Amino acid sequence: MLENAWIIPALPVTSFFLILFFGKRLPGKGHELGIAAVGIAFILSCVCVSQWVAKPADYHPPAAHEASATTGEASAAPEGGEEEGIRQPVVHEVTWFETGDTTVKVGTHMDGLAVMLVFTVTLISLLVHIFSTNYMHGDRRYTHFFAALSLFTAGMLIMVTSSTTLLLLVGWEMMGLCSFMLIGHWWEEQKNSDAALKAFFTTRTGDIGLLVGLSILFVAAGNTFEISTINSKALSGDIAHGVVLAAAAALLCAVIGKSAQFPLHTWLPDAMAGPTPVSALIHAATMVVAGVYLVARLYGVFWSGFSIANGTVNPLAAVGGITIIIAALLAFVQSDIKKVLAYSTVSQLGYMVMALGVGAWTAGIFHLFTHAMFKGLLFLGAGSVSHAVHSFDMKKDMGGLKKHMPVTFWTFVIGSLALAGIPPLAGFWSKDEILVGASENGYKFFLIVGLVGAFMTACYMTRCVYLTFFGEYRGHGHPHESPIAITAPLVVLGVMAVVAGWVNFPAHAAEWFGKWTENEVFAVAGVQSHKFAPGLAFAGFLMGVGGIAAGWAYYARNWGPHRLTERSKPALRGYVFLENKYYLDYIETDLVVGSIKGPIARGAYWINQQILDAVVNGAATVSRAVARFTYDYIDQKGVDGIVNGAGVGAEEGGSVLRVLQTGRVQQYAAFLFGGVVLLGGALILFA
Amino acid sequence: MYLNQFLFLAAFLFCVGVYGVLARKNGVLVLMSVELILNAVNVNLVAFGAFHNTVVGQVFALFVIAIAAAEVGVGLAIVLLIYRNKHSIDLSEVDIMKG
């Protein structure tokens, strides 16, 4: 199955077209096709996982060039007596086209990272499909919704299985398009189509970086799109450091756009305008993790470009760290349950990016894996709640739902605890690994950022759970538990949110996840995977519990300084500052776009009128003189003479030949036979 | 085997065909004459094939027959359209392409 992994993305592509053309005629309006395709893809990806795990770890990639070994003693090249290798990636490629001496190939490159993501994506997508059959029931574009879901899944699968950056770009753009279609699914409302456009344009801004970065890498690596070649050349020092740095910086722009990092994170909360299952899919398994995946996949470029091994501040870690804190702060002031989760996603993506930035590769993608499980769960839970109360506003329409919706409540709590990092749930293990990585690679500052982030995460999730499920019901009507199509995915993800962290259980000879996902870059660059550190784990746990306790005390027990915003000016300012999302939207739309429209445009106009026009006018005067001369002598006399001569010649010749064009077929045939006779005669005479 | 007999036959057919194409006014008859020319060539092909003891000539003739069928289909369609527009298939009247 690893050889033929192309089947997995091919399935949802097929179902996309089938749903589009035949979906409306089917009894289920197309959802059966989508579920079948993604379901089969999920089974196949399970096969992939089992085959990958069964693969012997006996591959030793060629050792790194001396150049990369000198990137610092801190990186500590792997010890000589390494007993175990890694699993060799399974590559299956065909030639797409050749131009000149460049051969462009497409194919699949299955390694631990790809297998893990294929499994995650198909699992989440399958559950989202099932969830949607009920959640979207009776929607006016039900069939199109499922078609777009299929294409979205296909885009992500193409991207993660791709062996070349070209195909990776294709998958990336497919997701950009599908997110636009799905966020704007209810485009009749202006707000929704605005959100879709915002998501599209904001990620597009980053995508410019992707194009630039991939182009740089294509040329620098010797006209190849092969990801493994690019990685190994970036690591071995075949590509100049400056070039790798430029490429990494350009790719970072793409990551910031797609993975909603500061300062381009603003599109993601707005993307909540889409249907809830879409939010779950976008935020858990696809789209936003695409950026993180890009870093993980081209880690050789980032590793040597940003000199991650050196243990100093680098752009990747900085972006991640800033994002963790600012997004977590924003999550406190939201009253829309989905927006709390959206900012939480932004913050957690910050963790992943920071983890990759501090050299904790395994931790970063492990967090990606566990986060997909519990964030998918939380979004679907939010969908289930809103299905019951027909609103997303926690303050106005929710509260006290604990007794009305027990299944949703318990799964949501499990997801929240996993997110808050309470052992033994999934989030605890992955978050702890990030902290260990940051501390051991010498990124002390980011360790503190991570711990503060953990505290804040626990705190805002407590607020969210309290406002939604505890207290008195504040909405209208009688909320009731959602049907099985909605609760079943919740239960599955709830189980996953509990057990997903155990695959990297830090026992002797365990830590399977780390071993399964080790890839060439990992081995060549000497990226270290870190041992479980009980002290830090306890610190992380304390932060989680402390956050929950603080949140509970403040929101449920009403302890602490309430109504601070009414009594203290600075607090109020801070609150307003947060409520306006750091004015980033204004900065982006009014300041950046506005300044381009306003002063810069006016300035450009002035320069245009005063300076450019003078130059242009001067040039025009000179060129008019030259032109007059050219016109009078060269053009009129010389060129025109030739042209007119040709015209007259053609006209004269035409009127002579015109006589031959009688329009009668038989005369033409006579000419034809005459010509043949002449040719035949010539052949006999002269040959 | 005498090749001459076949070549004479083919030459005769060819001449009949050329006469028909050039001299007849009726569009359908012109098409039939074209077929005669093609068949003259076919006779030549098969004859030479037999003379040289290969099947290439016959294969080629089959190709010609197949393509002639397609060609005559188009030709008859054109004649039909001319008839619809002019109520006549006299080719001497069809000279709207006159330059």
pLDDT digits (tens, 9 = 90+) for A269-278: 888 878 888 8
Partners of residue A665 in chain B, C-beta under 8 Å: 30, 91, 94
pLDDT tens-digit map of A635-687: 777 777 888 888 888 888 888 888 878 888 888 888 889 999 999 999 998 87
SS3 A367: helix
Per-residue pLDDT at A75 exceeds 50: no
Q: Say how many Å lie between the first and final Cα of chain B, rounded.
A: 51
Which of A112-126, A220-234, A533-547 is the most confident on average? A112-126
Residues A384-405: b if buried by 16+ CB within 10 A, e if exposed: bbbbbbebbbbeebbbebbebb
Q: How far is A644 from chain B (nearest CA, A)?
A: 23
Cβ-based burial of A606 (10 A; exposed 0-12, middle 13-18, buried ≥19): exposed
Q: How far is A662 from chain B (nearest CA, A)?
A: 5
Give just the sign of the alpha carbon dihedral A414, A415, A418, A419: negative
Cβ separation B22–A673 shorter than 8 A: yes
pLDDT at position B75, please?
92
Partners of residue B91 in chain A, C-beta under 8 Å: 664-666
Mean pLDDT of A266-292: 82
- Dump the DSSP string for A291-348: HHHHHHHTHHHHHHHTTGGG-S--HHHHHHHHHHHHHHHHHTT--BHHHHHHHHHHHH
Please give the Cα distance from A196 to A177 (Å, whole number).
10
Residue partners of B77: CB distance under 8 A and separation at least 6: none
Return the closest-CA partner of residue A443 out of A576, A288, A307, A278.
A307
Please give the Cα distance from A290 to A167 (Å, whole number).
13
- The predicted complex's ipTM stands at 0.84
pLDDT band at B62 (very low <50, low <70, confident <90, very high): very high
Partners of residue A657 in chain B, C-beta under 8 Å: 99
pLDDT at position A68, please?
41
What is chain A's percent helix, strand, coil content, to nearest 5? 75, 5, 25
Rg (chain A; Cα; Å): 31
Residue of higher predicted confidence among B44 and A231? B44
Cβ-based burial of A295 (10 A; exposed 0-12, middle 13-18, buried ≥19): buried
What angle separates helix A241-258 from helix A288-297, to the nearest 10 degrees?
160
Question: Which among B18, B21, B98 has CB closest to A663?
Answer: B98
Residues A37-66: b if buried by 16+ CB within 10 A, e if exposed: bbbbbbebbeebbeebeebeeeeebeebee
Per-residue pLDDT at A82 exceeds 60: no
Please give the Cα distance from B16 to B33 (Å, whole number).
7
SS3 A482: coil
Q: Are A296 and A365 in contact, with CB atoms under 8 Å apart?
A: yes
Residues A580-589: b if buried by 16+ CB within 10 A, e if exposed: ebbebeeebe
Q: Are A252 and A210 in contact, with CB atoms under 8 Å apart?
A: no
pLDDT band at B80 (very low <50, low <70, confident <90, very high): very high
Mean pLDDT taken over chain A: 79
Return the closest-CA partner of residue A127 out of A344, A378, A348.
A378
Would you tell me which residues 74-93 of chain B have a C-beta closer than 8 angstroms to some C-beta of chain A? Answer: 91-92
pLDDT band at B15 (very low <50, low <70, confident <90, very high): very high
Give the torsion through C-alpha atoms of A681, A686, B5, B6, to 10 deg. -80
A280: Cα separation from own chain's centroid? 14
Cβ separation B30–A665 shorter than 8 A: yes
Residue of higher predicted confidence among A80 and A146? A146
Cβ-based burial of A643 (10 A; exposed 0-12, middle 13-18, buried ≥19): exposed
| Percentage of the residues of chain B whose pLDDT score is greater than 70 | 98
pTM of the model: 0.69
pLDDT tens-digit map of A256-273: 888 888 777 778 888 887
Q: Are A500 and A284 in contact, with CB atoms under 8 Å apart?
A: no
SS3 A95: strand
pLDDT tens-digit map of A185-208: 888 888 888 888 888 888 888 888
A293: Cα separation from own chain's centroid? 8
Please give the Cα distance from A22 to A30 (Å, whole number).
7
Question: Which among B22, B23, B95 has CB closest to A663?
Answer: B95
Partners of residue A661 in chain B, C-beta under 8 Å: 97-99
Size of interface A-B (CB pairs under 8 A): 35
List C-alpha distances in Å: A573 to A6, A173, A580. Answer: 54, 40, 10
SS3 A108: strand
